[in-house]
Chains A and B, each alone.
Chain A
Amino acid sequence: MLSVYVPGPLRGFTGGTDVVELDTAPGPLREVLAALFARHPGLRDRVLTDTGELRRHVNVFIGPERSRLDSPVPDGAEISILPAVSGGRS
């Protein structure tokens, strides 16, 4: 079992849920996110670009570690999707 924290601006696509539990086998982050997007399709285009890369100003953490799409996700991991501080407009 894995859990994914969804930030406030994206909860319109999860029916308001802030933590999504996934009964998904451990594997690369890319595959875990694919399972998340299968459950909540509206998250996909907000987190990834059309070509499937993480958006520039979106960070995904596995536990405390900022991760890449090929980072391994262990069983029981707590994953967090967070907006990066670099993304705001001034």
Chain B
Amino acid sequence: MPQPRHLERDRGVLVLVGTTKGAFLCASDDGRTDWEVAGPYFAGQEVYALALDTRGGRRRILAGTHSAHWGPTVSISDDLGRSFSHPERAPIRFPDGSGLSLKQVWQIVPSGDGDEVYAGVEPAALFLSRDAGQTWSLNEGLFTHPHRTEWQPGGGGLCMHTVLPRGDKLYVAISTGGVYRSDDGGQSWRPRNVGIRAPFLPEGHQYPEFGQCVHKVAADAADPTRLYLQHHWGVYRSDDAGDSWQNIGAGLPSDFGFACVAHPRDAGTAFVLPIEADMFRAVPDARLRVYRTRDAGASWQALADGLPQEGAYECVLRDGMAADRLAPAGLYFGTRSGKLYASNDEGDSWRQLHAGLPPIVCVKTGVLA
């Protein structure tokens, strides 16, 4: 197995990249023009979930890994990847008697200012750690929800791919289950899918209470009740914390896609990366373009400077794009063909950071003080 190359830089912007054959770390200063790439970590393993936890002076990387032979687990590094934990017992496990085995960790999200971290997993379930990712417990409220046994797997499996803590509300999204929201700290959950059309259901039945194939949800940074959502056909916005959704996909070359990212500060600003169709998962016209709205979806601007505009049969997956919190915001995405791109000006221009990584399934960012 290859030994990873480690980062020399220990401050500045960190981009965490998960692939089907390991994880990579990219680091730069605040200018984000010169990049260092480290890895591969977990060589040969799928890494669908990564997070950087800098709360309370931590520099903790959490990784949800999956070995095709030896199964899934969660590993932690407090030294920027030089060493990772290898817990004897898998830290995320379904309860004995549940009849379920963990297949994959899809999402790891630090929540609040303390030690809480959420994990969304496959088969779809939510886990909570209160010790910054070392031990985990199942969220029983969602696990015992009567809808759970009716959720159906999408192409990626029956995964909980989005966990969004937002003030006193907690959102999760499941393919295919849809969006669920808790207003009581995760004790009880309600589906929040009104207005989201499921075109894969028969006419007259395309607006179910749940069962939508939500691909990703992002929260507007400035408006606490506004959300953006990329569906399996359809880009949507909610202005009432998910109680209702309206289609904002007009103006996009396709409203199919996976990735959906909100600006870290600016109200009404979000990014999507349209894919031509579910039957042809490549960017429209073989032109690699990110689309940005600054008016909450009323209009969209194509961002293509520095991106290939001919013969680019690329696809970017649901967790394959992320924004940093610097000003101007940096934006990053990775493709199924292993190309990693970065913008240090909110998408106006792009540069390629790497052309030959394994298929990219996860891109996350953070800032090391």
Contact = CB atoms under 8 A, between A and B. Distances in A.
Interface of A: 9-10, 12-13, 41-42, 44-47, 49-51, 53, 55, 57-58, 83-84, 87-89
A89 B46 contact: yes
A88 B70 CA distance: 11
A57 B73 contact: no
B327 interface: no
Contact of A41 (B44, B86, B88): B88
B20 A89 contact: yes
B102 A50 contact: yes
Most interface-central of B67, B69, B70, B93 (chain A CB within 10 A): B69
B99 interface: yes
B68 interface: yes
Contacts of B100: 50-51
Contact of B94 (A10, A50, A55, A83): A50
A45 B316 CA distance: 32
A41, A49, A87: residue with the most chain B Cβ atoms closer than 10 Å: A49
A41 B90 CA distance: 11
Nearest to A58: B69
B69 A45 contact: no
Given A89-B20, A89-B46, A51 B99 contact: yes
A22 B21 CA distance: 35
B224 interface: no
A58 B44 contact: no
B101 interface: yes
A66 B71 CA distance: 20
Q: Please provide the 5 A-B residue pairs with the shortest distance between their CB atoms, ordered closest to farther.
A: A42-B88, A49-B101, A50-B101, A46-B70, A87-B68
B365 to A, nearest CB: 25
B295 to A, nearest CB: 42
Given A50-B100, A50-B101, A50-B102, A87 B69 contact: yes
Contacts of B205: none
Binding site of B, secondary structure by majority: helix, strand, loop or mixed?
A: loop
A41 B89 contact: yes
A55 B102 CA distance: 11
21 contacts: A9-B67, A10-B70, A13-B86, A41-B88, A45-B71, A45-B89, A45-B90, A46-B69, A50-B100, A50-B101, A50-B102, A51-B100, A51-B101, A55-B70, A57-B68, A83-B69, A87-B67, A87-B69, A89-B21, A89-B68, A89-B358
A87 B86 CA distance: 20
Given A55-B71, A89-B44, 7 more contacts: A9-B70, A42-B86, A45-B93, A46-B71, A53-B101, A88-B44, A89-B46
Nearest to B87: A42
Contacts of A49: 71, 101
Interface in B90-127: 90, 93-94, 98-102
Nearest to A8: B1
Residue among B68, B73, B89, B98 with most chain A CB within 10 A: B68
A15 B303 CA distance: 53
A9 B71 CA distance: 12
B101 A9 contact: no
Nearest to B1: A9
B42 to A, nearest CB: 11
Contacts of A45: 71, 73, 88-90, 93
